[in-house]
Amino acid sequence: MKGLVKRERTEGLWMEKVPMPEVGDHEVLIKTRKTSICGTDLHIYKWDAWAQKTIPVPMVIGHEFMGEIAALGKNVKGLKEGDRVCGEGHIVCGQCPNCRMGRKHVCMHTKGLGVNRSGCFAEYFVLPAENVFPLPASVSDDLGAIFDPYGNAVHTALSFNLVGEDVLITGAGPIGIMAAAVARQAGARHVVVTDLNDYRLDLAKKMGATHAVNIKNTSLDEAMRSLGIDYGFTVGLEMSGHPNGLATLTEK
């Protein structure tokens, strides 16, 4: 089969023939139908300092996907061949103190799909069955492929009770825009998104942002006045990854 491989310790990726993965007793073989590109994949492509100390070479990359089950390990229950699925790309040990306390999201031995083990940018890949989730027919392939970043937006936004709150989101990337939609659906009064990219800000408005502010042209104070926010925002979500974004949150 073909896969997109980080073959060498330098910038770039290579489309190559790779072996069909073997399916363990508790694993599922997934035929990839759709994938999406994460910023992590760009770090790996560029071979920056983080990638150099993290990524084993050679390895198939990619962790955002939807697909269909092609085969099941002998101990897998509750799934069947042909199921449309997406999945959680963080593979936990289940044995460390955090896992045993129900805090698997901070497993001490987490392995990332497409980061520490072969990923989904291939025709087929394997994932533990407990990480695989069937998709209802109402969810399209395109939407199923972005459930990973959408989950980031959901869990971040819903860390707060947002009913009636005024929310500032710095950064109109995919996760920031999805967080704006979640915040509005969760009952936020105003959702203000900042960025430097007008195209992304337009998307944020389409997804429910009350106000989208290009901070090159408009001050955040001006936007706050137009919405009647004179006491500051009550919830802030930093989604840009830029130090200035965090500074803006603490100021407003």
Q: What is the C-alpha separation between 90 and 43, in angstroms, rounded? A: 18
Q: Which amino acid is at 192?
A: V
Residues ≥6 apart with Cβ < 8 Å to 245 = 170, 171, 194, 238, 239
Active site residue 40: yes
Active site residue 109: no
Give the position of tokens 């799934």: 79
Determine how β-strand 84-87 pairs with β-strand 190-195.
Answer: unpaired
The one catalytic residue among 32, 35, 40, 210:
40
Residue 192: strand pairing partners:
168, 211
The one catalytic residue among 26, 43, 54, 218:
43
Q: What is the C-alpha separation between 101 and 166, in angstroms, rounded? A: 34
For residue 13, which of 51, 55, 52, 60 has the smallest C-alpha distance? 60
Active-site amino acid positions: 40, 43
